[in-house]
């Protein structure tokens, strides 16, 4: 059975710049590492100040993408609440696109990888090792 890979984007509510935080990033990584036991595997990702992009493979027989995203957002919202950042934290919903080929993955990854450069957070993508990672 092939497990689909999704390209996912989610935005913070009113584009609050609350994702550029080491504790948020650490909790994101912990969540990603726990995913395999629930049927979700995060690959490459970028956390921007007000949104994130990621690639995730979800075993649809064990977990729906929407349920997984809800869990991820709730997990990160716990960090925001601990920092007294008032809710709401997220825009409703998220954008997802199922990848249909390796070419599609590489095109999307190039876009994601260069996002911090386009936002002028770095001069080149390789300067963003703490923002853009591949967990697989």
- End-to-end Cα, the chain, rounded Å: 19
Number of structural domains found in the chain: 1
Burial of residue 110 (CB within 10 Å: 0-12, 13-18, 19+) is exposed
DSSP alpha helix (H) spans, the chain: 22-34, 65-82, 102-113, 115-118
Instruction: Output the tens digit of pLDDT for each of the chain's 136 residues.
Output: 578 889 999 999 999 999 989 999 999 999 999 988 888 999 888 898 999 999 999 887 768 999 999 999 999 999 999 999 999 999 999 999 888 776 667 777 777 777 766 666 666 666 665 444 444 4
Q: Could you tell me the CATH number of the domain that includes residue 15?
A: 3.30.70.1290
What DSSP designation does 128 have?
G
Residue 59, domain extent = 5-134
């Amino acid at each position: 059975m092939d497990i689909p890979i999704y390209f996912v984007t989610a935005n913070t509510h009113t584009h609050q710049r609350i994702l550029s935080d080491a504790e948020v990033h650490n909790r994101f990584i912990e969540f990603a590492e726990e995913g395999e036991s629930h049927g979700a595997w995060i690959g490459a990702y970028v956390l921007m100040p007000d949104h994130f992009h990621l690639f995730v493979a979800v075993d649809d027989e064990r977990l729906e993408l929407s349920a997984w995203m809800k869990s991820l957002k709730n997990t990160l919202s716990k960090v925001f609440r601990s920092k007294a950042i008032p809710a709401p934290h997220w825009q409703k919903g998220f954008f997802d696109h199922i990848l249909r080929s390796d070419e599609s993955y590489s095109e999307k990854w190039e876009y994601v990888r260069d996002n911090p450069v386009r936002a002028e957070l770095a001069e080149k993508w390789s300067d963003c090792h703490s923002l853009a990672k591949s967990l697989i």
